[in-house]
Amino acid sequence: MAKIFCIANQKGGVGKTTTAVNLAAGLAKVGQRVLMVDLDPQGNATMGSGIDKRKLDMTVYDVLLESSSVAEARVHSEKCGYDILGANRELAGAEVELVEVERREKRLKLALASIDADYDFILIDCPPSLSMLTLNGLCCAHGVIVPMQCEYFALEGLTDLVNTIKQVHANLNKDLKIIGLLRVMFDPRITLQQQVSEQLKGHFGEKVFNTVIPRNVRLAEAPSYGLPGVVFDPSSKGAQAFITFAEEMVQRIKTM
Ligand code: ADP
Ligand code: MG
């Protein structure tokens, strides 16, 4: 049975997609079977895994509306080493279309149940909102990975997400918890970042992952080649950090 994790933070540009594709590639590198689900209509995780979102016949949109199964809609990336359930602009419509249907927040959960034996990890790249799409992700996950930059308002921004996770835990998915906060785009030369990092550890303790992802230009360049940094330049500092993070996740799920 796969362990399912959402990569979520309602802020945009905090490193969710970078975390999703690089963790997927890192896990694949250390021998794990991985499915990455793109739940963002921007389709960045799809493109960043070398899959052209405009050429997909079936996407997570069709799965949410039950017009196709995950087995039919997933594609494999040979270069990246994992499977992808892709997304494109069509997915933006699902938000409205799902309002009408039954069990609307459980659609993804039901769909993933049919293929969950095929994987060790299923990673879900969430959109920058606490919408019906994100809710579908949270309903099927065992845990949430929260990427965050160590900036002044970092802690404040977490309150809404933590409250949403508490509500989903209470009403829809009693398995759900925050697995950890991942410090990303970290620059140790910036004193403020060190201070916020210490504050985070003080506040969240064990919930802060040991691995820190540095700010690294190779991670930012990789998407334009349709690759995760881990595949694009495996020896770069950013890629190395994500491989270490993948190993940390493999250890974490042993105690879950
Ligand atoms: P989100 O999915 O939360 O919107 P992204 O993963 O798309 O965020 O990241 C936002 C931008 O920051 C992208 O241009 C990405 O390439 C860049 N970025 C993310 N992580 C890093 C990093 N560790 N070092 C340098 N650039 C990064
Ligand atoms: Mg994104």
Instruction: Give pLDDT tens digits for 202-242.
Output: 999 999 999 999 999 999 999 999 999 999 999 999 999 99
Q: In this model, does residue 87 exceed pLDDT 90?
A: yes
Sign of CA pseudo-dihedral 16, 18, 22, 24: positive
Would you place residue 186 in the very low, low, confident or very high pLDDT band (cuts 50, 70, 90)?
A: very high
Position 107 scores a pLDDT of: 96
Q: Establish how many alpha carbons lie within 13 A of residue 191's alpha carbon, considering only the half-sphere containing its beta carbon.
A: 0
Position 214 scores a pLDDT of: 98
Please provide residue 223's backbone torsions phi and psi, each rounded to the nearest 5 degrees: -60, -30
What is the domain range of residue 49?
3-255
Going from the C-alpha of 188 to that of each of 184, 195, 215, the distances in angstroms are 11, 10, 9
Mean pLDDT of 184-212: 95
Position 197 scores a pLDDT of: 95
Going from the C-alpha of 109 to that of each of 2, 26, 139, 164, the distances in angstroms are 12, 24, 7, 18
Going from the C-alpha of 29 to that of each of 22, 97, 102, 216, 240, the distances in angstroms are 10, 38, 39, 20, 11
What's the gap in Å between 68 CA and the centre of ligand 1? 31
Q: In this model, does residue 158 exceed pLDDT 90?
A: no
- Number of Cβ atoms within 10 Å of the Cβ of 31: 10
Task: State which ligand 1 atom lies nearest to the alpha carbon of 186.
Answer: 23
The overall pTM is greater than 0.95: yes
- Based on the structure, what is the number of domains in the chain? 1
What is the length of the chain? Answer: 256
Which residue minimizes the CA distance to atom 26 of ligand 1? 220
Using CB distances shorter than 6 Å, the residues near ligand 1 are 12-18, 44, 128, 184-185, 213, 215-216, 219-220, 223, 238
Q: The domain that contains 227 carries what CATH number?
A: 3.40.50.300
Probe ligand 1: pick from 16, 18, 149, max atoms within 8 Å of CB? 18
The string of DSSP codes covering 53-106 is GGG-SS-HHHHHTTSS-HHHH-EEETTTTEEEE---TTHHHHHHHGGGSTTGGG
